[in-house]
Chain A
Amino acid sequence: MTSSRNGANSAFRAARAVLLVLTAFVIIMPLMVMASTAFKVDGEIYDFPMSVIPKVPTLENFSKLLDRFPLYFWNSLKLTTIIVIVQLLTATTGAYAFSKLKWRGRDLVFMLYVVSIMIPIQAIIIPQFIIVRNLGLYDTHRALILTGAFTAFGTFLIKQFFMTIPDSYVEAAHIDGAGEFSIFFRLMLPLAKPVIATQIIFSFRFFWNDFFAPLIYITNQGLKTLPLGMADFATETYTYVGPQMAASFISIIPVMVIFLSAQKYFVEGVAASGVKG
């Protein structure tokens, strides 16, 4: 019996290894195609069989991007950085108010925040657009910063972490004469570093890739972000495949680098979102 069990086991292991390698191939291949096409001359892009390493490597596709994409890249970087910082501010202060301050209506407001996590942006975009336009913010970066400033998920995430810090710490600080602001900045924030890292990474990834809000709020060429600039390729009549892949390649590099160096925070963020289930 043991020998047949062993046989079945090694067959299972072999099948599992094959399946995993195949899956990894299916996931990596499209990204390889993107990266290698970015360095190919037009005539080589549709060669069959497709070459992974370009026969005549070229930077021509990247130089075709030079007129507009440096600005798009800068806009994306600037906006993402500002929104990440503003979100961190609103999420940590909100989380502190929900976890360590006592006030009437606190639990009700928190429940409303949590419910709003489920609401798709497209369900409220029409009235939100009208509000933004009436504030005179249409076609400005401020529209994206202000509509992006509030994060129900981030507030929830950090509040859950603050709850794990014993109230006795806060009380001890109060007895020592510390005010709420110094408790928040000197005690809570330093303790919350890991969850703050998770929040920063999540919100960076979201706004760096965000396409919908810029599509709605930005029309001026000079204000466009990277995803919006890339989308122009998809709707032009002639398809510039090379430059298109070069732009895509550039756009995924920052997030790839962050992912590879801080994978554990991504995984923790996903897991933390599941805990409440």
Chain B
Amino acid sequence: MKRLVRTPWPVVAAFILPSLLGFALFVVAPIAMAFAISLTNFSGGPRFRFVGLANYLLAFSNDKFLGALATTFIFTSWTVALQLVLGLAFALLLNDKLLGRNFFRGVIFLPNVLSSVAVSLAFMLILDPKRGPLNMVIRSLGIRAPLWLGSEKSSLATIILVTVWQSFGYYMVLFLGGLQTISRSLYEAAAIDGAGSVRRFLSITLPGLSPIMFYSITIAIIRAFQVFDQIYIMTGGQAGGGPAGSTSVLVFDIYKNGFSLFRFGYAAAESVTLLAIVLMVTLIQQRGQKKWVNYDVV
């Protein structure tokens, strides 16, 4: 029997207000304010005025902003692709019963739980172009060692590698969970019908994983937009963004304009752009899920 009576409002308030207050004050209000501030030349002081779309026009004709968008796009494409491919590959390898399975799963997931500041500092030592252990090994093999973080050609690639190192295990765990939902009997039936392992992978495993695949792609994209710690720590701190701005992604540009240059209005316009991109990705996920995801297999 369903309880049709509404709960008295003081009781509802007592339960919902602790979280709703935080949500309203520190999430909803800032979203609304971001739009408002982006239409002003606010810089933190008491004197500011309405400037219309000037901040947006300025941003979209500014090489730094457009460059940051491009860098974000490159960073996102590579990290999403590498994390999903590696995550899926290791989920498949570690789904079978084999010696040390739990050890390998644990090790691969481990970097996820660690401080990205600590991880970044360790990689700065390892990747030191002159004296770092990795380049020492590379040089001892007679190969010309890359400058890693020290060159505008390789700095972004280096950040991508460190980020993938730290988080592909997360996607492995997601995919391992997805593999559990695929019924064993499907594989047995396919084996009886004479389907080879490639065929089984393409016709059973991949469609069976499509819901989790779609979720993983969305999460990976959203997380890629947020990369900040590695860039701040490894490529020059507050004034940084890498050699020749090569690692200045959108969120870093927002931080720099907002908190080093105090161009709040301009940074808010960049924030609204970021919000719009995130909203678009989420909408595509919602729509696409119905179209491409296969729920029949599982």
Complex contact B19–A248 (CB within 8 A): no
Residue pair B215, A277 in contact (C-beta under 8 Å): yes
- A-contacting residues, B110-165, CB 8 Å: 110-111, 113-126, 128, 131-133, 136, 140, 165
B108 touches which one: A23, A93, A119, A226 (CB < 8 A)? Answer: A23
A61 in contact (CB, < 8 A): no
A271 touches B177 (CB 8 A): yes
Contact bitstring A3-31, B, C-beta under 8 A = 1, else 0: 00000000001001001100110111011
User: A115–B282 contact, CB under 8 A?
Assistant: yes
A122 touches which one: B116, B119, B255 (CB < 8 A)? B255
Interfacial chain B residues near A46, Cβ < 8 Å: 128, 131-133
B67 at the interface (CB under 8 A from A): no
Q: Is the CB of B226 within 8 A of A120?
A: yes
Q: Which residues between 23 and 72 of chain B lie within 8 Å of chain A, taking CB atoms?
A: 23, 25-34, 37, 44
Q: Could you show 19 A-B contacts with beta carbons less than 8 Å apart?
A: A13-B98, A23-B90, A27-B111, A103-B9, A118-B282, A119-B275, A123-B271, A126-B37, A130-B44, A131-B26, A151-B19, A230-B117, A230-B118, A231-B117, A244-B125, A251-B118, A259-B113, A267-B173, A271-B177
Mask: chain B, 208-225; 1 = CB below 8 Å from A; 0 = not: 000110111011001001
Binds A, one of B73-81, B184-192, B231-239: B231-239
Measured between C-beta atoms, what is the minimum distance from A9 to chain B in Å?
11
Q: Which residue on B lies nearest to A269, using beta carbons?
A: B173
How many residues belonging to B are interface residues under a CB distance threshold of 8 Å? 103
Whether the pair A167, B23 counts as a contact (CB closer than 8 A) is: no
CB atoms of B275 and A274 under 8 A apart:
no
Q: Which of B114, B121, B278 contacts A123, CB < 8 Å?
A: B278
Determine chain B's interface SS by DSSP, over half rule.
helix
Q: In the complex, A267 Cα to B125 Cα: how many Å?
A: 30
B residues with CB within 8 A of A: 1-7, 9, 11-12, 14-16, 18-23, 25-34, 37, 44, 90, 93-94, 98, 100, 103-104, 106-111, 113-126, 128, 131-133, 136, 140, 165, 170, 173-174, 176-178, 211-212, 214-216, 218-219, 222, 225-226, 228-229, 232-234, 236-238, 251, 254-255, 258-259, 264, 267-268, 271, 274-275, 278, 281-282
Q: Does A65 contact B (CB under 8 A)?
A: no
A248 and B118 contact, Cβ closer than 8 Å, known pairs A91-B19, A259-B110: yes
CB contacts under 8 Å to B, within A241-261, are 241, 244-245, 247-249, 251-252, 255-256, 258-260
| Inter-chain contact total with CB atoms closer than 8 Å | 293
The answer to whether A205 and B126 touch across the interface, beta carbons within 8 angstroms, is: no
A93 touching B125 by the CB < 8 A rule? no
Chain B residues whose C-beta falls within 8 Å of the C-beta of A30 in the assembled complex: 119, 122-123, 126, 165
Interface string of A169-198 (1 = CB under 8 A from B): 001001000001100100000000000000
Complex: A124 Cα to B282 Cα, angstroms:
17
Q: Give, as a whole number of angstroms, the nearest-CB distance from B195 to chain A.
A: 15
Report the bound CA distance from A266 to B133 in whole Å.
Answer: 32
* Distance between B97 CB and nearest chain A CB, rounded to angstroms: 12
CB distance B22 to A149 under 8 Å? yes
Chain A, range 83-111, C-beta contacts under 8 Å to B: 89-91, 93-94, 96-98, 101-104, 109
Are B20 and A109 in contact, CB atoms less than 8 angstroms apart?
yes
CB of A155 within 8 A of chain B? yes
Picked from B28, B113, B255, B275, the residue with its CB within 8 Å of the CB of A205 is: B113
CB atoms of A103 and B7 under 8 A apart: yes
Q: Given the interface contacts A119-B278, A235-B238, does A131 sit within 8 Å of B29 by beta carbon?
A: yes
Neighbouring B residues of A266 by C-beta, 8 Å: 109, 113
How distant is the Cα of A250 from the Cα of B212 in the complex, in angstroms? 36
Q: Tell me whether A96 and B15 are in contact in the complex, defined as CB-CB below 8 angstroms, given that A119-B275, A127-B34, A251-B118 are known contacts.
A: yes
Top 3 A-B pairs ranked by shortest CB distance? A277-B215, A150-B22, A127-B33
A107 to B70, CA, bound (A): 38
Check if A140 is an interface residue, CB within 8 A of chain B.
Answer: no
A101 and B19 contact, CB distance less than 8 A = no
Is the CB–CB distance between B215 and A276 below 8 Å? Answer: yes
B26 and A101 form a contact (CB under 8 A): no
Known A-B contacts A34-B122, A90-B22, A248-B121; the reply to A122 vs B237 at CB < 8 A is no
Is A152 on the interface with B (CB-CB < 8 A)?
Answer: yes
Contact check, B26 vs A147: say whether CB atoms are below 8 A apart.
yes
Given A122-B254, A180-B7, A255-B115, check contact A233 B121 (CB 8 Å).
Answer: yes
Most buried by B among A46, A124, A180: A124
| A-side contacts of B100, CB under 8 Å | 20
List of B residues within 8 angstroms of A231 by Cβ: 117, 232-233, 237
